[in-house]
Amino acid sequence: MLLLTTTRDALLAPLQSVSGIVEKRHTLPILSNVLIEKQAEALTLLATDIEIQITTHQSTPGGGESASITVSARKLQDILRALPDGEISLVLDDKRLTLKAGKSRYALQTLPAADYPRMQLNSGESLNLRMSQKDFRRQLAQVAYAMAAQDIRYYLNGLLMQVLGNELRLVATDGHRLALSSNMLEQEYARTEVILPRKTVLELNRQLADSDDPVDITITGNQAAFRFGPIELITKLIDGKFPDYDRVIPQGNPRLVIAHRASLLAALQRAAILTNEKFRGLRVVLEPGLLRVISSNAEQEEAQEELEVAYSGEPLELGFNVTYLLDMLNNVGTESVEIHLNEPMSSALFTLPENDQFKAVVMPMRI
């Protein structure tokens, strides 16, 4: 039975959109598969890991019969990537799906679509908001790097999303650093606060386009849905209480440094080469008009970088994990960055000139 005839790229693009969440090893073998549904000229691909589900919809003119089947996401994707661009066809015969392209034939094992678990969005009261993909993606990028990865405090392995009237605020912290980004919305909404899982945040960051096209966000119960372009992503939310981040943000750090972001980033990247691979610590030495970065390692090697900055305070020396500084500077696209400092062992506050919608806090370290 002919399922569909299309081009390689027309099938590979939606497959790559959904297969990023597929786990390589799962206790349920069917979760390594992608669900392919064909209804008349509509093609739907769906993947889930029980916590997240991604669906893409597209039209596929060119015939083929209606059917549903699941097949290995990784194998199908690897085959399509390896083939040259051109026409392909999928033929379903009993429990095997055959992919034909030119003189190539690949027969893949399938599992029944009826056995594939699906997430349904909760019915009931929900919050619905819309913003541009570009704005939401920028906010995610400005904070996502500060999420914890495998912290025992599970609520840190994600990102706080707060709707505060006409403001959307995103916050992430791993206990050593914190990042906050806010954006004004076009209308007022009821106050809402949820924690998005880390995997969901990374997937959204990867998939959203840098365009003015909209993303529709729905929050209902313990789930959230994001719809943009042909993609719908449904995710479970983390059930927990995010820490009071306002207490972490330093108030009134009196010493202000204004540095050229790209120059500071380049100097830190070079100095990072000779840091201790495990601790990644380096020293930042400030004098009026000058910032010096010094790193060393167990082999007695040392790097020193200097750059001119706007600073008129007393000399000051601090220690930082260079990875934290690089992550932050790589994800803000401004020309300059402001650094608000106090004492050597006080947290540093990073802001952007004439912009109160971004804040990053980095804890110092002893070097």
The burial class, CB within 10 Å (0-12 / 13-18 / 19+), for 264 is buried
182 contacts 168 by C-beta, under 8 angstroms: yes
- Across the range 292-296, mean pLDDT stands at 97
357 contacts 183 by C-beta, under 8 angstroms: yes
Last residue of a domain, one of 182, 208, 236: 236
* CA 313, 315, 319, 323 torsion-angle sign: positive
Question: Which pLDDT value is given to residue 277?
Answer: 86
Name the residue type at position 283. Answer: R
Q: How large a percentage of the chain has pLDDT more than 70?
A: 99
In a domain, 247, yes or no: no
Closest of 361, 367, 327 to residue 342, by C-alpha:
361
A 10 A CB-CB count for 246 gives 9
Question: Which pLDDT value is given to residue 47?
Answer: 97
pLDDT digits over 21-52, tens only?
998 777 889 999 999 999 888 999 999 999 99
Residue 315 is given by DSSP the state -
pLDDT at 65 over 90: no
Q: 133 and 38, same structural domain? A: no
Q: 199 and 104, same structural domain? A: no
275 contacts 295 by C-beta, under 8 angstroms: yes
- 74-80: long-range pairs with CB below 8 Å, 24+: 74/19, 74/22, 74/24, 74/32, 75/108, 76/15, 76/34, 76/108, 77/12, 77/15, 77/16, 77/19, 79/106, 80/8, 80/11, 80/12, 80/15
In a domain, 246, yes or no: no
Closest of 331, 336, 367 to residue 351, by C-alpha:
336
pLDDT digits over 147-205, tens only?
999 999 999 999 999 999 999 999 999 999 999 999 999 999 999 999 999 999 999 99
Q: 278 and 216, same structural domain? A: no
Which residues does 131 contact at the CB level (< 8 Å), separation at least 6? 168, 183, 185, 186, 214, 215, 217
- Across the range 60-80, mean pLDDT stands at 89
333 confidence band (pLDDT: 50, 70, 90) = confident
Question: Which pLDDT value is given to residue 59?
Answer: 87
In a domain, 27, yes or no: yes
Q: 86 and 175, same structural domain? A: no
pLDDT at 62 over 70: no
265 contacts 305 by C-beta, under 8 angstroms: no
Residue with tokens 């003119």, as numbered in its chain: 61
pLDDT digits over 239-266, tens only?
999 999 999 999 989 999 999 999 999 9
Q: 145 and 106, same structural domain? A: no
Lookup: tokens for 214: 């909209």
- Say how many domains are in the chain: 3
In a domain, 248, yes or no: no
Q: 178 and 109, same structural domain? A: no
In a domain, 242, yes or no: no
Q: 343 and 319, same structural domain? A: yes
Q: 155 and 103, same structural domain? A: no
Q: 92 and 49, same structural domain? A: yes
Last residue of a domain, one of 115, 134, 151: 115
pLDDT digits over 96-129, tens only?
999 999 999 999 999 999 999 999 998 888 999 9
Report the CATH number that the domain containing residue 345 is assigned in CATH: 3.10.150.10
* Cα Rg of the chain (Å, integer): 25
Q: 295 and 267, same structural domain? A: yes
In a domain, 275, yes or no: yes
Q: 212 and 134, same structural domain? A: yes
- Across the range 281-310, mean pLDDT stands at 96
Last residue of a domain, one of 115, 149, 181: 115
Percentages helix, strand, coil for the chain (3-state, rounded to 5) are: 20, 45, 30
The whole-angstrom separation of Cα 367 and Cα 312 is 24
Q: 207 and 175, same structural domain? A: yes
pLDDT at 12 over 80: yes
The whole-angstrom separation of Cα 33 and Cα 45 is 11
Name the residue type at position 46. Answer: L
In a domain, 250, yes or no: no
63 confidence band (pLDDT: 50, 70, 90) = low
The whole-angstrom separation of Cα 247 and Cα 218 is 29
Name the residue type at position 305. Answer: E
135 confidence band (pLDDT: 50, 70, 90) = very high
Residue 58 parent element (H or E): strand 52-59
Question: Which pLDDT value is given to residue 283?
Answer: 97
Question: Which pLDDT value is given to residue 23?
Answer: 84
Question: Which pLDDT value is given to residue 172?
Answer: 98
C-alpha dihedral (268, 310, 317, 300), degrees to nearest 10: 30
pTM: 0.93
In a domain, 367, yes or no: no
- Domain enclosing residue 325, as ranges: 255-362
pLDDT at 212 over 90: yes
